[in-house]
């Protein structure tokens, strides 16, 4: 049965959404998975394919917003989870599994000597900021305009600032993401223009005495999935050292980029790194890593630590064993495979834009790529900002991709998995060609 409004079989999803509307605000409990007229509800996943409740099978090119790097139903991850399930899902005691996953992260990431686990990336960023404040005794954080770091009050400032509120480029306003954010939060966040060395350095030095940390994602999705330039990162490192503040890399998505994460390919090293997504093997997770001197803020041996931190499900062994196996499966060769799939996807999409005479481009690297309409050079949040017309086109593309058998993010973000083959990428590119040609997408 077809749902008239979306022209694809979705009667069962429509029915679930009707039910959801009664008990969930707007029928939704996770903004990122909402789209109009209603979301499609998942039934099951296998490899790189997801089946919705109306029985339509699609290639999953978003992988739970980048977290499922091996797709669904990997036998080794499943075996680890079912093995742990039989021994206990969680305990009021630590388990060996948390030590093993921490050892793996310390082995892979040079800047990480010790790790603290959490249950989400939001918590990881929040805890990183609290550690930086405790370690430096200062209140302020600096972050780049547009960059998303989860929903902690301070971290979400200016993550989606609109042109009427973002202020001067040389001094971006700190824009609240949620209504009612206290003024005190806004005045403790310094917003930097991404990749603008001169302006960012000037702003940072102006606030040197209050600055606890500089938080940066080396390839922030909401800034357009553009890489931070090596010179920009070097400036941030220099300023952090000069001002005695901490440099924090948010690798919650970017850890997907290489065997040692994004920082494996960057000469600048952070003081602290936040992790999430792939390190949980499909389960909820977050982690914070850094050198032992800073991580001592959590050490309970002297009494109450400088940063008390617990969490009922923190380091639960289900997440820990799934994460360890998922990470072990990610060999250096896996990253070569993912890079090649990503390059194939990008090449195919760029060639399709060209062949159809439509202006568009692709940003990103490795297994992360993002489709944009327009060909203007993207260098920061403002140049990547999609106006209402571009948003409508992207939404039409997203819907058309769903009709043509591909699930991607409504923003044009794609995240590939090791479960994919070059044939799957060809299928995504073919779906893109059909979708782009449809009149609602082609119209500007
Ligand atoms: C860079 C970055 N930081 C933090 C977060 C928050 O992670 P979580 O959704 O697990 O809270 C996200 C989530 O997408 C992210 O992309």
Strands (E), 107-238: 114-118, 140-144, 189-192, 211-216
Residue 441 pLDDT: 82
Tens-place pLDDT, residues 45-82: 999 999 999 999 999 999 999 999 999 999 999 999 99
Q: Tell how strand 140-144 and strand 368-373 pair up.
A: unpaired
Mean pLDDT of the chain: 96
CATH topology for 2-69+332-442? 3.90.1150
Burial classification of residue 164, based on how many CB atoms lie within 10 Å of its CB (0-12 exposed, 13-18 middle, 19 or more buried): exposed
Domain range annotation of the chain:
2-69+332-442, 75-329
- Distance from the Cα of residue 2 to its chain's centroid: 33
CA of 370 to the centre of ligand 1 (A): 17
CA of 252 to the centre of ligand 1 (A): 6
Q: Indicate which residue's Cα is closest to atom 2 of ligand 1.
A: 149
CATH number of the domain at 75-329, out of 3.40.50.10330, 3.30.70.270, 3.40.50.150, 3.40.640.10? 3.40.640.10
CA of 66 to the centre of ligand 1 (A): 10
Tens-place pLDDT, residues 140-165: 999 999 999 999 999 999 999 999 99
Q: Indicate which residue's Cα is closest to atom 4 of ligand 1.
A: 149
CB of 20 within 6 A of ligand 1: the answer is no
CB of 125 within 6 A of ligand 1: the answer is yes
Tens-place pLDDT, residues 336-379: 999 999 999 999 999 999 999 999 999 999 999 999 999 999 99
To 5 degrees, how large is the angle CA 382–CA 444–CA 160?
25
Q: Tell how strand 189-192 and strand 211-216 pair up.
A: unpaired
Q: Report pTM.
A: 0.97
193 and 200 Cβ atoms separated by less than 8 Å = yes
Instruction: Locate the ligand 1 atom nearest the alpha carbon of residue 276 and give its number.
Output: 10
Same fold flag, 2-69+332-442 and 75-329:
no
């Amino acid at each position: 049965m077809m749902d008239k409004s979306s022209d694809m079989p979705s009667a069962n999803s429509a029915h679930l959404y009707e039910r959801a509307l009664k008990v969930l605000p707007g029928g939704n409990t996770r903004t990122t998975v909402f789209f109009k007229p209603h979301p499609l509800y998942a039934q099951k996943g296998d490899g790189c394919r997801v089946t919705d409740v109306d029985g339509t099978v699609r290639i999953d090119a978003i992988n739970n917003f980048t977290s499922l790097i091996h797709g669904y139903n990997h036998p080794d991850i499943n075996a680890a989870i079912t093995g742990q399930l039989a021994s206990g899902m969680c305990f009021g005691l630590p388990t060996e599994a948390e030590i093993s996953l921490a050892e793996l992260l310390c082995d892979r990431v040079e800047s990480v000597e010790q790790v603290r686990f959490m249950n989400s990336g939001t918590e990881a960023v929040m805890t990183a900021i609290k550690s930086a404040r405790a370690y430096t005794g200062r209140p302020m954080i600096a972050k780049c305009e547009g960059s998303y770091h989860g929903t902690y009050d301070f971290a979400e400032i200016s993550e989606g600032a609109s042109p009427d509120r973002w202020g001067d480029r040389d001094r971006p306003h700190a824009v609240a993401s949620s209504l009612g954010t206290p003024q005190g939060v806004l005045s403790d966040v310094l917003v930097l223009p991404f990749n603008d060395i001169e302006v960012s350095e000037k702003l940072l030095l102006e606030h040197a005495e209050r600055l606890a940390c500089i938080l940066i994602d080396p390839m922030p999705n909401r800034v357009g999935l553009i890489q931070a330039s090596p010179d920009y990162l070097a400036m941030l490192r220099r300023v952090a050292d000069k001002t005695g503040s901490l440099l924090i890399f948010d690798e919650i998505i970017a850890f997907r980029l290489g065997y040692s994460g994004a920082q494996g390919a960057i000469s600048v090293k952070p003081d602290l790194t936040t992790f999430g997504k792939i390190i949980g093997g499909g389960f909820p997770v977050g982690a914070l890593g850094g050198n032992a001197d800073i991580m001592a803020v959590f050490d309970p041996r002297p009494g109450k630590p400088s940063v008390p931190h617990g969490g009922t499900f923190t380091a639960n062994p289900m997440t820990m064993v799934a994460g360890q196996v998922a990470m072990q499966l990610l060999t250096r060769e896996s990253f070569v495979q993912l890079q090649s799939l990503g390059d194939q996807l990008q090449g195919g999409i760029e060639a399709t834009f060209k062949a159809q005479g439509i202006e568009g481009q692709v940003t990103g690297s490795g297994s992360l790529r993002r489709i944009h309409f327009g060909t203007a050079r993207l260098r920061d949040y403002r140049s990547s900002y999609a106006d209402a017309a571009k948003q409508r086109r992207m939404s039409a593309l997203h819907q058309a991709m769903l009709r043509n058998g591909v699930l991607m993010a409504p923003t044009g973000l794609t995240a590939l998995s090791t479960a994919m083959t070059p044939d799957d990428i060809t299928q995504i590119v073919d779906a893109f060609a059909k979708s782009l040609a449809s009149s609602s997408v082609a119209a500007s």
